[in-house]
Structure 1
Amino acid sequence: MTNITYRTADVDGFEIFYREAGDPTKPTLLLLHGFPTSGHMFRDLIPLLADRFHLVAPDLPGFGRSALPSRDAFTYSFDQLAKVIDRFTEVIGLERFAIYIFDYGAPTGLRIAMAHPERVTAIITQNGNAYVEGLSDGWNPIERYWREPTDANRQALRKMLTEHSIRWQYEHGVADVMAISPDGIALDLHYLERPEADEVQLDLMLDYASNVALYPAFQAYFREHQPKLLAIWGKNDPFFLPPGAEAYRRDLPNADIRFLDTGHFALETHAGEIAAAIAGFLDK
């Protein structure tokens, strides 16, 4: 049996909720989730790795059970998400760690890696993009909002916050949708129903342009520091395409790149395969 603990950390007045498992004296893996979920997305992965690693899965600011301060009190940008999570690692005493980056967790984790290359021992990217080749046409409505940040373009993105859209993100590209637990979808929707949570998500969609602008800096970090990297990708992802995974080899010739026959939320269907790949990769 894996003993998972559920904790909160005071990060300079900002409350971050996190899951933790495994022996803290063993190598640490920091698990960074994406939109619209939380550390709950790692519920199947953590027990599969906790005997070999120390695992920490925080809920990003404004997500899950972490604090959701008003937009007047906190700026919801990826720079701010990274700043809080970076400080979170210091508050709970993580000195060196590998990172698992997925979706929004990718630009968050890569900002931390650029700021502290000596602290990040390895990168596992599961549909965590850092190259323009990885962006699909699914980004077109969001890119339109970047180019023209009008209220009409903002309101058009609300459909991405509906139950139909969230369920589609989970199920698209999955061979058997009966393999997708409805609980994760229901929990995501619950958190999205909190006051102002929808506006927070729309703010982050607008700020995602800052991540694309940083792609050259992320790539320069890869070339300079040559972090060990495993890209394990749901190949049917409607948002982040396989060329985004393959592009890592341009800057990291020794990157380990693998594809799974599933969609965006690959852990929902392939947690066992991903856990085995991570264990073998980190054991090297």
Structure 2
Amino acid sequence: MTGELPVPAALTNTVQRWRDQDEPVQPPIRWSREAWRKYFPSQHAFLDALPEQIDRAEATRHAAHATTPEGAERAFLAAMIWGYGRVGYGPWRTARVLTENPHAVDRLAEVAVVAREQGGLAAFRDLASQPLRYLGVAFGTKYLRFVTAAHTSDKAPILDAVVRRWVSTHTGLHLMIDEWRPAVYEKYVALLTSWAAELGLATDTVEELIFRSAVSREGSGQWSESWAGSSSPEQRAQAALLELEQLFDTAEADQAREARHHLDELERIIRRGWAG
């Protein structure tokens, strides 16, 4: 059973360092206001009112009204701005989701209603039943995270390339996120729930700490696990895999599926090489 996997030492150490530092789990994210204004002229007032750096609390605040189409669009924008940060293609990819799916904001609002009334797993299943083209699991669960955080205590944890690769590296469990797979997401939530119970933390906090353990992002603490800067060849190899996989979060499903398969095979080779 997934829930029987022990808490990895890397996570236990990250939790302890975080508690010792007594600081926010994840720092706010910088973003380029002008880039987003270019693609969303009707949302200039909303975008201009956002702070220069967005954290999870700010994105959650804007998700409070996601059960209406107007609120869902703004909630989605806030989630994508937080998710992409200063990545240059973020505004274009976000606009593509909203413009190339008929009634996209209505669909996002419907999912928010499900999240409010039935919780995160139900919202994931609902979105999986009628997914929006160009919105994959990585960024879709970012939207679900903030919508559920705004409406219920049953927060839907984010499952993106960073978290997926970390879980694979530290447990050997491969979570396929090339498509919307409810069974995979339920397995992931069960795993985080079991770890959260053992660590005395909220499931959502465990996901944040996994992310922080995996990569050093702008403004993150100096104690974050830094694969790229490690002297270990295995950790440098894992860092390279992570950087490659992050590109697939916004790739077409077929391309991402094929690429992740090859990366998983490479990881198995790496793990066998150093284990032997």
Q: Same fold (TM over 0.5)?
A: no
**Which has the larger helix fraction?**
2
TM norm structure 2 = 0.29
TM norm structure 1 = 0.28
**Which has the larger strand fraction?**
1
